[in-house]
Amino acid sequence: MGVFFLYNRHMNNIYVTTAIPYVNGKPHLGHACDYLLADIYARYQNGKGKSVRFQAGTDEHGNKIYKKAKELDIPVSKYVDENSKNFQDFIHKLGVEYTDFIRTTDESHEQSVQKIWEKLKDHIYSADYEGWYCEGCESFVTDKEYAENNGICPDHQTKYQRLSESNYYLRISDFKDQIKEAIESGKMLVLPEFRKKEILKLLADSPDVSISRPTSQLTWGVPVPGDDGQVMYVWVDALSNYITVLGYPEQDISDFWPANVQIVGKDILRFHAIIWPAMLLGLGLPLPKVILSHGFILANGQKMSKSIGNVVDPIEVLERHGLDAFRYFFTRHIDTFADSDFTWEKYDAAYENELANDLGNLVQRLATLCGKNDVSAPDFSAAPDAEYTDYMDNFEFTRAIEYAWGKVQDINRRIDDTKPWALVKEDKDAGRELLASLVSDLLSANELLKPFLPDVTAKISDIFTAKTITPPETPLFPKN
């Protein structure tokens, strides 16, 4: 009996995580990806009656942040407080509803990370090291990568630095075979498939990882227990957030760990698919079920960067056409897995042609016809849709919203073909029956859109399930 309940409780729980951004600047458009994908998944699972935990947070240690605060002449703790708050505000503006927010400067997190270090002791050793380092990545690179990239980090466009120091290392070699097996067998599914191949190659070449920095180089971090001269490497501290937020190691986290999906950008997949699994295996914890790596948002085909001057302000995007438009564009036109381009032209076109024309007009037209002909809400209960479920369960979010949008377009086509406005004049009952069935179709499509567009779908449900159907006073997507 007890075992049965335990089993059920675990089956009903879902844990989704997002990368925790560095707080050395304001949120930018790219940061929206992690949150939106996680939110869509969380809402989808909530809709199925699951109990969902959804973690978000901020990564607040490391030299990048320390230097930036010094540059601005602000106390570091004040600087990270302000920026962490900016991120929280940003996430709320995206209509994203996380359940847990963690900051790596939280005292409880710092204490837990030190305990994690102690638990990993058998796999940690100290050694001298000389090698190439990228401050932007907060990471060493191999000589091979250094040569391939001509000495310049492709993600940050800065020169690698030569560092020579004494460090602690995590013995990745202790876990390589297990990680390889987990990735190959799909026990830890790395999505998309083409990234999985890249990771297996990196894993094969991966040396042991330096996991501390001397305090002469870095002070803004979690001290290594038992060694005043060393501070933990920011990635060990940051990756631990996914379990410290659940209460590890003080609490039993098995209700929610392993995570169902961990959402990260392609640039940080290697940390999540190599260092993180090594840490988990060292702790005797299971590996996440899925690591989903999304592509990058480009601006006019180029990486957004301050020096090119093509950084798009996400708040400006949000304010242009409202929240639903933002969520729509960034799931339908920014592909879940591949790099995709943002341009204002594409954004406006999607708003006008798809949201305003396909959906906004449909609601207006159908609600007006129902109102005039006294059609009241049909009994509606959402039926499962196998194709959609398949997309959502496999994290194919762009496909899922495309599919749902196809349903919206089908209804428009059906209205054009069946001309309910003419039919009600010829045969009132048949016309009303047709309208009721169109409303049912719209409510079904609306159901599929709920995780993506929480605001407008709530409005559509209200309009078409009210006793008397009346069109909204202002169009759902007014044209500017």
Of all residues in the shown chain, the one whose CB is closest to ligand MSP is: 265
20 near ligand MSP (CB under 6 A): yes
Task: Tell the smallest beta-carbon distance from residue 31 to ligand MSP (Å).
Answer: 5
Which range in 36-44, 45-53, 162-170, 260-268 contacts ligand MSP by CB under 6 A?
Answer: 260-268
Q: Which is nearer to ligand MSP, 65 or 362 (CB)?
A: 65
Q: Which of 403, 388, 395, 389 is nearest to 332 (CA)?
A: 403
Q: Which of 33, 456 has the CB closer to ligand MSP?
A: 33
Q: Which is nearer to ligand MSP, 283 or 376 (CB)?
A: 283
Report the distance separating Cα 223 and Cα 117, nearest Å: 10
From candidates 189, 222, 273, 304, binder to ligand MSP by CB under 6 A: 304
Q: How many positions of this chain bind ligand MSP (CB under 6 A)?
A: 18
Answer yes or no whether residue 268 interacts with ligand MSP by CB under 6 A. Answer: yes
**Residue 33 lies near ligand MSP (rule: CB under 6 A):** yes
Q: Which of the stretches 243-251, 259-267, 349-357, 405-413 binds ligand MSP when contact is defined by CB under 6 A? A: 259-267
Q: What six digits make up the tokens of 24?
A: 């050395």
For residues 22 and 388, which CB has a smaller minimum distance to ligand MSP in the complex?
22
Nearest to 280 by CA among 245, 307, 242, 317: 242
Site for ligand MSP in 186-245 (CB under 6 A): 238-239
- Choose one: 26-34, 71-79, 305-313, 418-426; the region binding ligand MSP (CB under 6 A): 26-34
Nearest-angstrom CA–CA distance, 475 and 472: 6
Residue 341 or residue 441: which is nearer to ligand MSP going by CB? Answer: 341
Out of 31, 61, 321, 432, point to the residue binding ligand MSP (CB under 6 A): 31
| Residues 6+ positions from 145 with CB-CB distance below 8 Å | 132
Main-chain phi, psi angles of 65, to 5 degrees: -70, -45
- Is residue 367 at the binding interface for ligand MSP, with CB under 6 A as the rule? no
d(CA 283, CA 25): 33
Per-residue buried b or exposed e for 420-449, using 16+ beta carbons within 10 Å of the residue's own CB: beebbeeeeeebbbbbbebbbbbbbbbbbb
For residue 218, the Cα-to-chain-centroid distance in whole angstroms is 30
Q: Which is nearer to ligand MSP, 134 or 463 (CB)?
A: 134
Q: How far apart are CA 318 and CA 296, in angstroms?
A: 18
For the bound state, the minimum distance from the C-beta of residue 224 to ligand MSP, rounded and expressed in Å, comes to 19
Give, to the nearest 10 degrees, the angle between helix 323-332 and helix 397-418: 110
- Select from 182, 297, 317, 460 the one that contacts ligand MSP (CB under 6 A): 297
Q: Is 296 in the site for ligand MSP (CB under 6 A)?
A: yes
Quick one: 34 or 354, whose CB is closer to ligand MSP?
Answer: 34
39 binds ligand MSP (CB under 6 A): no
| Cβ–Cβ < 8 Å for 375, 439 | yes
Q: Where are the alpha helices (DSSP H) in 50-170?
A: 63-71, 76-93, 107-119, 143-148
Compute the least distance from the CB of residue 21 to ligand MSP, in Å. Answer: 3
Return the active site residues: 28, 31, 134, 137, 153, 156, 303, 306
Return the H-helix or E-strand segment holding 130: strand 124-134
Task: Pick between residue 21 and residue 420 the one whose CB is nearest to ligand MSP.
Answer: 21
Q: In the complex, what is the shortest distance from the CB of residue 217 to ligand MSP, in angstroms, rounded to a whole number?
A: 19
Q: Is 399 in the site for ligand MSP (CB under 6 A)?
A: no
We find the least distance from the C-beta atom of residue 137 to ligand MSP, in angstroms, to be 8
Please identify, using beta-carbon distances, which residue of 40 and 445 lies nearer to ligand MSP. 40
Cross-strand pairs, 341: 298
Q: Is residue 59 part of the contact set for ligand MSP (CB under 6 A)? A: yes
Cα 135 to Cα 348: distance, rounded to the nearest angstrom: 37
Task: Give dist(CA 227, CA 124) in Å, integer.
Answer: 13
* Piece in contact with ligand MSP (CB under 6 A), picked from 95-103, 265-273, 364-372, 413-421: 265-273
Considering only 18-26, 42-50, 66-74, 185-193, which stretch makes contact with ligand MSP by CB under 6 A? 18-26
Contacts for 470 with CB less than 8 Å, ≥ 6 apart: 367, 371, 463
Q: Which helix (H) or strand (E) holds 355?
A: none
Whats the size of the chain, residue-wise? 480
Cβ-contact 275, 170 below 8 angstroms: yes
469 scored as a contact of ligand MSP (CB under 6 A): no
Q: Does 279 bind ligand MSP (CB under 6 A)?
A: no
∠ CA 206-302-72 to the nearest 5 degrees?
80
What are the residue ranges of helices labelled H in 164-287? 176-185, 193-205, 234-239, 241-244, 269-270, 276-283
Q: Does 34 bind ligand MSP (CB under 6 A)?
A: yes
Q: Is 354 in the site for ligand MSP (CB under 6 A)?
A: no
CB of 34 to ligand MSP, least distance (A): 5
Which positions touch ligand MSP (CB under 6 A)?
19-22, 30-31, 33-34, 59, 238-239, 264-265, 267-268, 296-297, 304
